[in-house]
Amino acid sequence: MTDLSMLPPPAGEAVRGPAIAVRGLGKRFGDLIAVNGIDLDVPRGSFFGLVGPNGAGKTTTLSMVTGLLRPDAGTAMVLDHDVWADPVEAKRLLGILPDGLRIFDRLTGLQLVTYAGLLRGLSREVATKRATELLRALGLEDAQDKLVVDYSAGMTKKVTLASALVHGPRVLVLDEPFEAVDPVSATTIRGILADFVSAGGTVVLSSHVMDLVERICSHVAVLARGEVLATGTVDEVRAGESLEERFVDLVGGSTEVEGLEWLRTSSD
């Protein structure tokens, strides 16, 4: 356990309303119900982990919350602004790192982050200054004049994170931010996110890695088959077990491996 997991839940903050409030949010793709009318509150100032098995609806939920995918039902509020009724204000408050979407990778790192700032209405001077600072903080200084298409997967994640941060959002929504990121970069990113939270920001991230969520998040929600199975502080959700054990309990499904005897070398 690192000290970050000991962060107290942001007491009293909830009075002013959650950072993200989701009510009855639903999305269906053809016959498949991806997200089944879920309710979810992300308290202000929390470090919120969204966990779930593959196909649980994590990316779909995060896309609907961030204004990238129009929900079929329900509402998503970001700091009291409805993402779909008042998108301009809600989007201003959000910084996002989507998973599986491309970026403008024929720009250099510096150009990409600056461009993200300019799109958000920063002046060129401010955007350039912040982009340079962010790239330095993320250790991309030497690569800032290289095209992003030539970056490694981890560097691409970092430059996308910089693009999400450049306009100074209040709420960060990150889909799989640590995937393909090396341990050193992961530590850097965790540090930046921890600073962001301690300065009053809110972070929502999705992950497959329970151990990581247990260590760095203050709150967690477990999502499976488009439903929220549990939500609360990490301690509440894991109820004395490790988060991974609790997760397997909640999501169900047998972890007993049947068959595959030929895989065991002792069988011959």
As given in the structure block, the two tokens for residue 236 are 């509440």
Q: Does 150 bind another protein (CB under 8 A)?
A: yes
Nearest approach in angstroms of CB 128 to another protein is: 7
What whole-number distance in Å separates Cα of residue 56 and Cα of residue 224?
4
Nearest approach in angstroms of CB 225 to another protein is: 21
Window 2-41: residues binding another protein (CB under 8 A): none
Return the range that interacts with another protein (CB under 8 A); candidates 6-14, 31-39, 87-95, 240-248.
87-95
Alpha-helix runs per DSSP H in the chain: 58-65, 87-93, 109-119, 124-137, 153-165, 183-198, 210-216, 234-238, 243-251
Window 192-231: residues binding another protein (CB under 8 A): none
Window 53-72: residues binding another protein (CB under 8 A): 66-70
Q: Does 247 bind another protein (CB under 8 A)?
A: no
Closer to another protein by Cβ: residue 125 or 256: 125
Q: Does 170 bind another protein (CB under 8 A)?
A: no
Closer to another protein by Cβ: residue 30 or 183: 30
Closer to another protein by Cβ: residue 79 or 94: 94
H or E segment to which residue 108 belongs:
none
For the chain, percent helix, then strand, then coil, each to nearest 5? 40, 25, 35
Q: Does 102 bind another protein (CB under 8 A)?
A: yes
Cβ atoms 256, 84 nearer than 8 A: no
Phi, psi angle pair for 145, to nearest 5°: -100, 10
As given in the structure block, the two tokens for residue 74 are 């329900």
Cβ atoms 148, 107 nearer than 8 A: yes
Q: Does 178 bind another protein (CB under 8 A)?
A: no
Q: Does 96 bind another protein (CB under 8 A)?
A: yes
Nearest approach in angstroms of CB 66 to another protein is: 6
Closer to another protein by Cβ: residue 160 or 218: 160
Q: Does 147 bind another protein (CB under 8 A)?
A: yes
- Residue by residue, DSSP assigns 164-212 as HHTT--SEEEEESTTTT--HHHHHHHHHHHHHHHHTT-EEEEEES-HHH
Nearest approach in angstroms of CB 110 to another protein is: 7
Window 110-139: residues binding another protein (CB under 8 A): 110-111, 114-116, 118-121, 123-124, 128
Nearest approach in angstroms of CB 259 to another protein is: 36
Instruction: Taking each helix axis as running N to C, give the angle between helix 109-119 and helix 153-165, from 0 to 180 degrees, rounded to the nearest 10.
Output: 30
Instruction: Taking each helix axis as running N to C, give the angle between helix 153-165 and helix 124-137, from 0 to 180 degrees, rounded to the nearest 10.
Output: 140
Closer to another protein by Cβ: residue 163 or 231: 163
Residues of the shown chain interacting with another protein in the complex, contacts defined by CB under 8 A: 66-70, 87-88, 91-92, 94, 96, 98, 100-108, 110-111, 114-116, 118-121, 123-124, 128, 145-147, 149-150, 163
